[in-house]
Structure 1
Amino acid sequence: MAVKSQAIADLLAQFPGSEECSLSEEIPGEVAVMELPGKKWTMRFDGSATATSYGLGIVLSSEDGDTLPLSFKLGFSCSNNAAEYEAYLTGLTIALVIGVKHMRVLGDSNLVVSQVKGDFALREQSLVAYRTWAQRLEQEFQTFNIEYTQRSENRFADALATLGSQMSIKGKNTLITVSRQEHSIIEVLRRMFSKELK
Protein backbone atom coordinates (compact mmCIF):
# COMPACT_ATOMS: atom_id res chain seq x y z
CA MET A 1 0.00 0.00 0.00
CA ALA A 2 2.86 2.41 0.76
CA VAL A 3 4.31 1.97 -2.74
CA LYS A 4 0.87 2.53 -4.31
CA SER A 5 0.30 5.65 -2.17
CA GLN A 6 3.73 7.00 -3.07
CA ALA A 7 3.12 6.40 -6.77
CA ILE A 8 -0.15 8.32 -6.57
CA ALA A 9 1.48 11.12 -4.58
CA ASP A 10 4.23 11.32 -7.21
CA LEU A 11 1.62 11.56 -9.98
CA LEU A 12 -0.26 14.34 -8.20
CA ALA A 13 2.97 16.20 -7.44
CA GLN A 14 3.49 16.52 -11.18
CA PHE A 15 0.19 18.37 -11.47
CA PRO A 16 -0.27 20.58 -8.41
CA GLY A 17 -3.46 22.58 -8.10
CA SER A 18 -4.19 25.70 -6.13
CA GLU A 19 -5.17 24.99 -2.55
CA GLU A 20 -7.12 27.34 -0.34
CA CYS A 21 -5.55 25.79 2.75
CA SER A 22 -2.76 23.40 3.55
CA LEU A 23 -3.57 19.70 3.41
CA SER A 24 -2.05 18.54 6.65
CA GLU A 25 0.75 19.90 8.75
CA GLU A 26 0.61 16.94 11.10
CA ILE A 27 1.80 14.35 8.59
CA PRO A 28 4.38 15.86 6.21
CA GLY A 29 4.38 14.33 2.74
CA GLU A 30 0.93 12.74 3.02
CA VAL A 31 -1.75 13.43 0.44
CA ALA A 32 -5.22 14.24 1.72
CA VAL A 33 -8.06 12.47 -0.07
CA MET A 34 -11.53 13.97 0.09
CA GLU A 35 -14.30 11.69 1.23
CA LEU A 36 -16.75 10.92 -1.55
CA PRO A 37 -19.10 8.30 -0.13
CA GLY A 38 -21.59 7.21 -2.75
CA LYS A 39 -21.10 10.18 -5.07
CA LYS A 40 -21.40 9.28 -8.72
CA TRP A 41 -18.81 10.85 -11.02
CA THR A 42 -18.49 11.21 -14.77
CA MET A 43 -15.14 11.43 -16.50
CA ARG A 44 -14.67 12.75 -20.02
CA PHE A 45 -11.26 12.32 -21.60
CA ASP A 46 -9.42 13.16 -24.78
CA GLY A 47 -5.88 12.90 -26.09
CA SER A 48 -4.21 15.07 -28.71
CA ALA A 49 -1.18 14.11 -30.75
CA THR A 50 0.27 16.12 -33.61
CA ALA A 51 3.62 15.84 -35.33
CA THR A 52 5.30 17.92 -32.62
CA SER A 53 3.01 18.23 -29.60
CA TYR A 54 0.99 16.00 -27.32
CA GLY A 55 -1.65 16.77 -24.70
CA LEU A 56 -4.42 15.34 -22.54
CA GLY A 57 -7.77 16.69 -21.45
CA ILE A 58 -9.77 15.29 -18.56
CA VAL A 59 -13.00 16.55 -17.01
CA LEU A 60 -14.21 14.92 -13.80
CA SER A 61 -17.75 15.93 -12.76
CA SER A 62 -19.77 14.85 -9.76
CA GLU A 63 -23.52 14.41 -9.78
CA ASP A 64 -23.91 17.50 -7.58
CA GLY A 65 -22.03 19.78 -9.98
CA ASP A 66 -18.42 19.71 -8.76
CA THR A 67 -16.11 19.82 -11.78
CA LEU A 68 -12.38 19.20 -11.99
CA PRO A 69 -11.00 20.15 -15.44
CA LEU A 70 -7.41 19.07 -16.12
CA SER A 71 -5.03 19.68 -19.00
CA PHE A 72 -1.63 18.03 -19.40
CA LYS A 73 1.24 18.57 -21.80
CA LEU A 74 3.11 15.36 -22.51
CA GLY A 75 6.89 15.58 -22.48
CA PHE A 76 7.28 12.59 -24.79
CA SER A 77 6.06 11.65 -28.24
CA CYS A 78 3.34 9.08 -28.82
CA SER A 79 0.66 8.07 -31.29
CA ASN A 80 -2.81 9.56 -31.14
CA ASN A 81 -4.17 6.25 -29.82
CA ALA A 82 -1.53 6.23 -27.07
CA ALA A 83 -2.44 9.85 -26.19
CA GLU A 84 -6.09 8.78 -25.85
CA TYR A 85 -5.07 5.94 -23.51
CA GLU A 86 -2.77 8.32 -21.57
CA ALA A 87 -5.77 10.61 -20.99
CA TYR A 88 -7.99 7.68 -20.00
CA LEU A 89 -5.51 6.17 -17.52
CA THR A 90 -4.51 9.56 -16.08
CA GLY A 91 -8.16 10.41 -15.47
CA LEU A 92 -8.89 7.05 -13.83
CA THR A 93 -5.81 7.38 -11.62
CA ILE A 94 -6.76 10.87 -10.45
CA ALA A 95 -10.35 9.74 -9.81
CA LEU A 96 -9.10 6.90 -7.63
CA VAL A 97 -6.72 9.22 -5.79
CA ILE A 98 -9.50 11.62 -4.85
CA GLY A 99 -11.66 8.74 -3.64
CA VAL A 100 -14.15 8.22 -6.47
CA LYS A 101 -15.93 4.87 -6.11
CA HIS A 102 -18.69 5.16 -8.73
CA MET A 103 -17.50 6.10 -12.22
CA ARG A 104 -19.10 6.66 -15.59
CA VAL A 105 -16.62 7.35 -18.39
CA LEU A 106 -17.38 9.06 -21.70
CA GLY A 107 -14.79 9.21 -24.45
CA ASP A 108 -14.80 10.06 -28.13
CA SER A 109 -12.08 7.54 -28.98
CA ASN A 110 -14.04 4.63 -30.41
CA LEU A 111 -10.84 2.56 -30.38
CA VAL A 112 -10.12 3.03 -26.65
CA VAL A 113 -13.75 2.65 -25.57
CA SER A 114 -14.27 -0.44 -27.72
CA GLN A 115 -10.97 -2.05 -26.71
CA VAL A 116 -11.52 -1.63 -22.97
CA LYS A 117 -15.05 -2.96 -23.34
CA GLY A 118 -13.67 -5.96 -25.23
CA ASP A 119 -15.58 -5.16 -28.44
CA PHE A 120 -12.40 -4.54 -30.51
CA ALA A 121 -9.33 -6.74 -30.63
CA LEU A 122 -6.02 -5.17 -29.64
CA ARG A 123 -3.88 -5.04 -32.77
CA GLU A 124 -1.20 -2.50 -31.84
CA GLN A 125 1.42 -4.08 -29.56
CA SER A 126 2.33 -0.61 -28.26
CA LEU A 127 -1.13 -0.39 -26.63
CA VAL A 128 -1.00 -3.69 -24.71
CA ALA A 129 0.30 -2.13 -21.47
CA TYR A 130 -2.33 0.62 -21.67
CA ARG A 131 -5.18 -1.87 -21.95
CA THR A 132 -3.76 -4.04 -19.18
CA TRP A 133 -3.58 -1.05 -16.82
CA ALA A 134 -7.04 0.09 -17.90
CA GLN A 135 -8.54 -3.26 -16.90
CA ARG A 136 -6.72 -3.17 -13.58
CA LEU A 137 -7.81 0.38 -12.70
CA GLU A 138 -11.42 -0.20 -13.75
CA GLN A 139 -11.67 -2.99 -11.15
CA GLU A 140 -10.81 -0.53 -8.37
CA PHE A 141 -14.21 1.19 -8.68
CA GLN A 142 -17.31 -0.17 -6.96
CA THR A 143 -19.37 0.64 -10.06
CA PHE A 144 -17.90 1.38 -13.46
CA ASN A 145 -19.28 2.04 -16.93
CA ILE A 146 -17.63 3.33 -20.10
CA GLU A 147 -19.46 4.65 -23.16
CA TYR A 148 -18.57 6.16 -26.49
CA THR A 149 -19.70 9.75 -27.01
CA GLN A 150 -19.65 11.96 -30.08
CA ARG A 151 -16.79 14.47 -30.32
CA SER A 152 -19.37 17.27 -30.27
CA GLU A 153 -20.37 16.05 -26.77
CA ASN A 154 -16.75 15.97 -25.61
CA ARG A 155 -15.70 19.54 -26.44
CA PHE A 156 -14.46 20.50 -22.97
CA ALA A 157 -12.03 17.57 -22.73
CA ASP A 158 -11.02 18.13 -26.37
CA ALA A 159 -10.27 21.81 -25.71
CA LEU A 160 -8.19 20.90 -22.65
CA ALA A 161 -6.22 18.31 -24.65
CA THR A 162 -5.55 20.86 -27.40
CA LEU A 163 -4.55 23.47 -24.82
CA GLY A 164 -2.10 21.06 -23.22
CA SER A 165 -0.57 20.08 -26.53
CA GLN A 166 -0.21 23.61 -27.87
CA MET A 167 1.12 25.41 -24.79
CA SER A 168 4.75 26.05 -24.15
CA ILE A 169 5.39 25.50 -20.45
CA LYS A 170 8.52 26.58 -18.62
CA GLY A 171 9.12 24.40 -15.60
CA LYS A 172 6.80 21.62 -14.41
CA ASN A 173 3.43 23.38 -14.61
CA THR A 174 1.51 26.56 -15.13
CA LEU A 175 -1.80 27.61 -13.65
CA ILE A 176 -4.50 28.81 -16.01
CA THR A 177 -7.80 30.18 -14.84
CA VAL A 178 -10.74 30.46 -17.19
CA SER A 179 -13.47 32.65 -15.76
CA ARG A 180 -16.95 33.40 -16.97
CA GLN A 181 -17.42 37.08 -17.69
CA GLU A 182 -21.10 38.00 -17.60
CA HIS A 183 -20.77 41.55 -18.94
CA SER A 184 -18.60 43.47 -21.36
CA ILE A 185 -15.48 44.99 -19.82
CA ILE A 186 -16.93 48.39 -20.80
CA GLU A 187 -19.81 47.89 -18.36
CA VAL A 188 -17.43 46.75 -15.65
CA LEU A 189 -15.20 49.80 -16.17
CA ARG A 190 -18.18 52.16 -16.13
CA ARG A 191 -19.19 50.79 -12.72
CA MET A 192 -15.62 50.92 -11.39
CA PHE A 193 -15.11 54.52 -12.49
CA SER A 194 -18.70 55.76 -12.11
CA LYS A 195 -17.74 58.56 -9.72
CA GLU A 196 -15.02 59.84 -12.02
CA LEU A 197 -17.21 59.69 -15.13
CA LYS A 198 -19.92 61.97 -13.62
Structure 2
Amino acid sequence: MGNYFMHADNGLKMIPESEIDTSLNNFLVNCESSCESSVIESEGASTSQQEILDFDTVSIGSPDDVWTLEFDDSYSSTESGAGIVLISPKGNLFLFSFKLQFNNTNNTTEYESLLLGMKVAQQKGIKNLHAQGDAELIVCQIRNIYQTRSEKLRHYRNLVWDLIETFDAFDISVVSCEFNDRADSLAVSATSLIPHKDFLGSTYVVELVFRPGVPDSIAHTKHS
Protein backbone atom coordinates (compact mmCIF):
# COMPACT_ATOMS: atom_id res chain seq x y z
CA MET A 1 0.00 0.00 0.00
CA GLY A 2 1.15 3.51 -0.76
CA ASN A 3 1.12 6.72 1.18
CA TYR A 4 -0.84 9.84 0.40
CA PHE A 5 0.03 13.48 0.83
CA MET A 6 -2.63 16.14 0.89
CA HIS A 7 -1.99 19.83 0.38
CA ALA A 8 -4.74 22.38 0.80
CA ASP A 9 -4.23 23.68 -2.75
CA ASN A 10 -3.20 20.60 -4.71
CA GLY A 11 -5.52 17.90 -3.44
CA LEU A 12 -4.68 14.23 -2.88
CA LYS A 13 -1.96 12.47 -4.85
CA MET A 14 0.02 9.24 -4.57
CA ILE A 15 3.71 9.63 -3.72
CA PRO A 16 6.17 6.70 -3.79
CA GLU A 17 7.31 5.70 -0.33
CA SER A 18 10.96 6.27 -1.35
CA GLU A 19 10.22 9.97 -1.85
CA ILE A 20 8.60 10.53 1.54
CA ASP A 21 10.66 12.60 3.94
CA THR A 22 12.37 10.29 6.44
CA SER A 23 11.45 12.31 9.53
CA LEU A 24 7.80 12.28 8.54
CA ASN A 25 7.80 8.61 7.67
CA ASN A 26 9.28 7.81 11.09
CA PHE A 27 6.43 9.70 12.72
CA LEU A 28 3.64 7.61 11.22
CA VAL A 29 1.89 5.45 13.76
CA ASN A 30 2.57 1.76 13.22
CA CYS A 31 -0.72 0.03 12.43
CA GLU A 32 0.81 -3.06 10.81
CA SER A 33 -0.98 -3.66 7.51
CA SER A 34 -4.32 -2.18 8.56
CA CYS A 35 -3.48 1.45 7.72
CA GLU A 36 -2.41 3.69 4.93
CA SER A 37 -1.14 7.16 5.69
CA SER A 38 -1.94 10.64 4.51
CA VAL A 39 -0.58 14.02 5.44
CA ILE A 40 -2.81 17.05 5.46
CA GLU A 41 -0.90 20.27 5.03
CA SER A 42 -2.04 23.86 4.78
CA GLU A 43 -0.10 27.08 4.38
CA GLY A 44 0.87 29.15 7.39
CA ALA A 45 3.01 29.04 10.50
CA SER A 46 5.12 25.97 11.25
CA THR A 47 4.62 25.70 15.03
CA SER A 48 2.16 22.79 14.92
CA GLN A 49 4.18 21.11 12.19
CA GLN A 50 7.27 21.13 14.39
CA GLU A 51 5.33 19.65 17.31
CA ILE A 52 3.92 16.85 15.20
CA LEU A 53 7.07 15.94 13.35
CA ASP A 54 9.02 15.77 16.60
CA PHE A 55 6.54 13.55 18.43
CA ASP A 56 8.49 10.37 17.69
CA THR A 57 11.59 11.74 19.40
CA VAL A 58 10.06 13.98 22.06
CA SER A 59 10.90 12.97 25.62
CA ILE A 60 7.99 11.91 27.78
CA GLY A 61 9.72 13.54 30.74
CA SER A 62 9.36 12.21 34.24
CA PRO A 63 7.52 8.89 34.61
CA ASP A 64 5.25 10.70 37.05
CA ASP A 65 4.17 13.32 34.49
CA VAL A 66 0.52 13.21 33.44
CA TRP A 67 -0.40 13.58 29.76
CA THR A 68 -3.87 14.54 28.56
CA LEU A 69 -5.73 12.78 25.76
CA GLU A 70 -8.60 14.53 23.99
CA PHE A 71 -10.65 12.24 21.74
CA ASP A 72 -13.70 12.62 19.52
CA ASP A 73 -15.36 11.08 16.49
CA SER A 74 -17.08 12.15 13.31
CA TYR A 75 -19.80 9.80 12.12
CA SER A 76 -22.31 9.55 9.31
CA SER A 77 -24.01 6.63 7.58
CA THR A 78 -21.23 6.57 4.97
CA GLU A 79 -18.08 7.86 6.70
CA SER A 80 -16.42 7.92 10.09
CA GLY A 81 -13.28 9.39 11.54
CA ALA A 82 -11.40 9.82 14.80
CA GLY A 83 -9.57 12.85 16.14
CA ILE A 84 -6.90 12.69 18.83
CA VAL A 85 -5.00 15.44 20.64
CA LEU A 86 -2.21 14.49 23.03
CA ILE A 87 -1.11 17.27 25.37
CA SER A 88 2.22 17.06 27.13
CA PRO A 89 2.74 18.24 30.72
CA LYS A 90 4.33 21.38 29.21
CA GLY A 91 1.23 22.08 27.16
CA ASN A 92 2.56 21.04 23.74
CA LEU A 93 -0.11 19.73 21.36
CA PHE A 94 0.29 16.67 19.15
CA LEU A 95 -2.41 16.03 16.56
CA PHE A 96 -3.62 12.69 15.18
CA SER A 97 -6.38 12.01 12.69
CA PHE A 98 -7.81 8.66 11.56
CA LYS A 99 -10.21 7.87 8.73
CA LEU A 100 -12.02 4.63 9.58
CA GLN A 101 -12.59 2.46 6.53
CA PHE A 102 -15.11 0.03 8.02
CA ASN A 103 -18.72 0.03 9.18
CA ASN A 104 -19.39 1.81 12.45
CA THR A 105 -22.03 3.28 14.66
CA ASN A 106 -21.68 6.58 16.48
CA ASN A 107 -20.83 4.73 19.70
CA THR A 108 -18.28 2.33 18.18
CA THR A 109 -16.60 5.28 16.47
CA GLU A 110 -16.21 7.00 19.84
CA TYR A 111 -14.68 3.84 21.27
CA GLU A 112 -12.35 3.56 18.27
CA SER A 113 -11.22 7.14 18.86
CA LEU A 114 -10.40 6.46 22.49
CA LEU A 115 -8.61 3.19 21.73
CA LEU A 116 -6.49 4.75 19.00
CA GLY A 117 -5.46 7.56 21.33
CA MET A 118 -4.62 5.18 24.16
CA LYS A 119 -2.51 3.06 21.81
CA VAL A 120 -0.55 6.10 20.60
CA ALA A 121 0.18 7.01 24.23
CA GLN A 122 1.02 3.41 25.13
CA GLN A 123 3.44 3.02 22.22
CA LYS A 124 5.19 6.22 23.27
CA GLY A 125 5.69 4.87 26.79
CA ILE A 126 3.39 7.35 28.52
CA LYS A 127 2.45 5.88 31.88
CA ASN A 128 0.01 8.43 33.35
CA LEU A 129 -2.89 9.47 31.16
CA HIS A 130 -5.99 11.55 31.66
CA ALA A 131 -8.50 11.03 28.84
CA GLN A 132 -11.43 13.31 28.16
CA GLY A 133 -14.23 13.25 25.62
CA ASP A 134 -17.76 14.53 25.15
CA ALA A 135 -19.42 11.10 24.80
CA GLU A 136 -21.07 10.67 28.20
CA LEU A 137 -22.33 7.16 27.43
CA ILE A 138 -18.87 5.85 26.55
CA VAL A 139 -17.12 7.50 29.49
CA CYS A 140 -19.72 6.27 31.98
CA GLN A 141 -19.58 2.73 30.58
CA ILE A 142 -15.81 2.70 31.04
CA ARG A 143 -16.18 4.03 34.58
CA ASN A 144 -18.78 1.30 35.16
CA ILE A 145 -21.42 3.88 36.04
CA TYR A 146 -23.71 2.88 33.18
CA GLN A 147 -24.55 -0.69 32.25
CA THR A 148 -23.26 -1.80 28.87
CA ARG A 149 -26.17 -3.68 27.35
CA SER A 150 -24.85 -3.97 23.80
CA GLU A 151 -22.63 -7.02 23.31
CA LYS A 152 -20.50 -5.17 20.75
CA LEU A 153 -19.97 -2.23 23.09
CA ARG A 154 -19.06 -4.62 25.92
CA HIS A 155 -16.24 -5.91 23.72
CA TYR A 156 -15.04 -2.35 23.20
CA ARG A 157 -15.35 -1.50 26.89
CA ASN A 158 -13.40 -4.63 27.84
CA LEU A 159 -10.64 -3.78 25.40
CA VAL A 160 -10.37 -0.31 26.97
CA TRP A 161 -10.23 -1.90 30.41
CA ASP A 162 -7.42 -4.19 29.23
CA LEU A 163 -5.47 -1.21 27.88
CA ILE A 164 -5.95 0.71 31.12
CA GLU A 165 -3.97 -2.01 32.88
CA THR A 166 -0.88 -1.08 30.84
CA PHE A 167 -0.78 2.39 32.44
CA ASP A 168 0.40 3.25 35.93
CA ALA A 169 -2.45 5.73 36.32
CA PHE A 170 -5.44 6.39 34.11
CA ASP A 171 -8.53 8.56 34.45
CA ILE A 172 -11.32 9.48 32.07
CA SER A 173 -13.86 12.26 32.30
CA VAL A 174 -16.66 13.89 30.33
CA VAL A 175 -16.20 17.38 28.93
CA SER A 176 -18.69 19.56 27.07
CA CYS A 177 -18.45 19.76 23.28
CA GLU A 178 -17.01 23.27 23.27
CA PHE A 179 -14.01 22.04 25.26
CA ASN A 180 -13.44 19.16 22.84
CA ASP A 181 -13.44 21.11 19.59
CA ARG A 182 -9.83 20.34 18.63
CA ALA A 183 -10.38 16.58 18.57
CA ASP A 184 -13.72 17.09 16.83
CA SER A 185 -12.09 19.19 14.10
CA LEU A 186 -9.47 16.50 13.48
CA ALA A 187 -12.17 13.84 13.22
CA VAL A 188 -14.19 15.90 10.75
CA SER A 189 -11.04 16.54 8.71
CA ALA A 190 -10.33 12.81 8.56
CA THR A 191 -13.70 11.94 7.06
CA SER A 192 -13.33 14.46 4.24
CA LEU A 193 -9.53 14.48 3.85
CA ILE A 194 -9.82 18.26 3.67
CA PRO A 195 -7.83 20.51 6.03
CA HIS A 196 -10.07 21.96 8.71
CA LYS A 197 -10.12 25.75 9.09
CA ASP A 198 -9.18 25.38 12.75
CA PHE A 199 -5.80 23.95 11.74
CA LEU A 200 -4.74 26.23 8.92
CA GLY A 201 -0.98 26.47 9.23
CA SER A 202 -0.67 22.92 10.59
CA THR A 203 0.59 19.66 9.13
CA TYR A 204 -0.63 16.39 10.58
CA VAL A 205 -0.88 12.76 9.63
CA VAL A 206 -4.13 11.09 8.67
CA GLU A 207 -4.13 7.32 9.06
CA LEU A 208 -6.52 5.27 6.93
CA VAL A 209 -7.56 2.43 9.25
CA PHE A 210 -9.05 -0.66 7.65
CA ARG A 211 -9.57 -2.96 10.65
CA PRO A 212 -11.78 -2.17 13.65
CA GLY A 213 -10.43 -2.52 17.15
CA VAL A 214 -13.09 -5.13 17.84
CA PRO A 215 -13.91 -7.23 14.75
CA ASP A 216 -17.33 -8.85 14.67
CA SER A 217 -15.71 -12.29 14.89
CA ILE A 218 -13.83 -11.55 18.13
CA ALA A 219 -15.35 -11.90 21.58
CA HIS A 220 -13.54 -10.78 24.71
CA THR A 221 -14.20 -13.01 27.70
CA LYS A 222 -11.78 -11.58 30.28
CA HIS A 223 -14.44 -9.33 31.79
CA SER A 224 -18.09 -10.02 32.41
Q: Tell whether the structures are fold-level matches, with TM greater than 0.5.
A: yes
Aligned residue number for residue 213 of structure 2: none
Aligned residue number for residue 166 of structure 2: 140
Aligned length: 155
Percent sequence identity over aligned pairs: 30
2:143 partner amino acid: K
Aligned residue number for residue 13 of structure 2: none
CA distance in 1, matches of 2:187, 2:94: 14
Deviation of 1:56 after TM superposition, in Å, equals: 0.2
Aligned residue number for residue 173 of structure 1: none
Deviation of 1:33 after TM superposition, in Å, equals: 8.6
CA distance in 2, matches of 1:64, 1:118: 31
The correspondence of residues 122-141 of structure 1 with structure 2, limited to 5 A, is 122-141=148-167
Change (3 A) 1:59 1:75: same
Where does the alignment leave 5 or more consecutive residues of structure 2 unmatched? 1-28, 40-51, 203-224
The one of the two structures with greater contact order (alpha-carbon pairs below 8 A, sep at least 6) is 2
Which of 82, 86, 101 is 1:60 aligned to?
86
Per the alignment, in what secondary structure is the counterpart of residue 56 of structure 1?
Answer: strand
CA distance in 1, matches of 2:32, 2:137: 26
Aligned residue number for residue 10 of structure 1: 31
Aligned residue number for residue 75 of structure 2: 49
Q: Does the 8 A contact of 1:47 with 1:84 survive in 2?
A: yes
CA distance in 1, matches of 2:60, 2:134: 29
Where does the alignment leave 5 or more consecutive residues of structure 1 unmatched? 1-7, 24-31, 169-176, 181-198
Consecutive aligned runs of 4 or more in structure 1 exceeding 2 Å deviation? 8-20, 32-39
Deviation of 1:140 after TM superposition, in Å, equals: 1.1
The correspondence of residues 72-91 of structure 1 with structure 2, limited to 5 A, is 72-91=98-117
Which of 92, 97, 109 is 2:135 aligned to?
109
Task: Using the TM superposition, name which of 87-96 and 121-130 deviates more.
Answer: 121-130
Which of 187, 192, 215 is 1:161 aligned to?
187
CA distance in 2, matches of 1:91, 1:82: 14
Deviation of 1:13 after TM superposition, in Å, equals: 8.7
Deviations 1:77-97 (A, max 9, x none): 200000000000000000000
Q: Does the 8 A contact of 1:43 with 1:103 survive in 2?
A: yes
Deviation of 1:67 after TM superposition, in Å, equals: 1.4
Q: Does the 8 A contact of 1:41 with 1:63 survive in 2?
A: yes
2:65 partner amino acid: K
Structure ranking higher in strand proportion = 2
CA distance in 2, matches of 1:153, 1:56: 16
1:179 partner amino acid: G
Aligned residue number for residue 120 of structure 1: 146
Deviation of 1:10 after TM superposition, in Å, equals: 3.3
Per the alignment, in what secondary structure is the counterpart of residue 102 of structure 2?
Answer: coil
Deviation of 1:39 after TM superposition, in Å, equals: 2.3
2:148 partner amino acid: L
Q: Does the 8 A contact of 1:33 with 1:97 survive in 2?
A: no
CA distance in 1, matches of 2:152, 2:34: 27
TM-score, length basis structure 1: 0.70
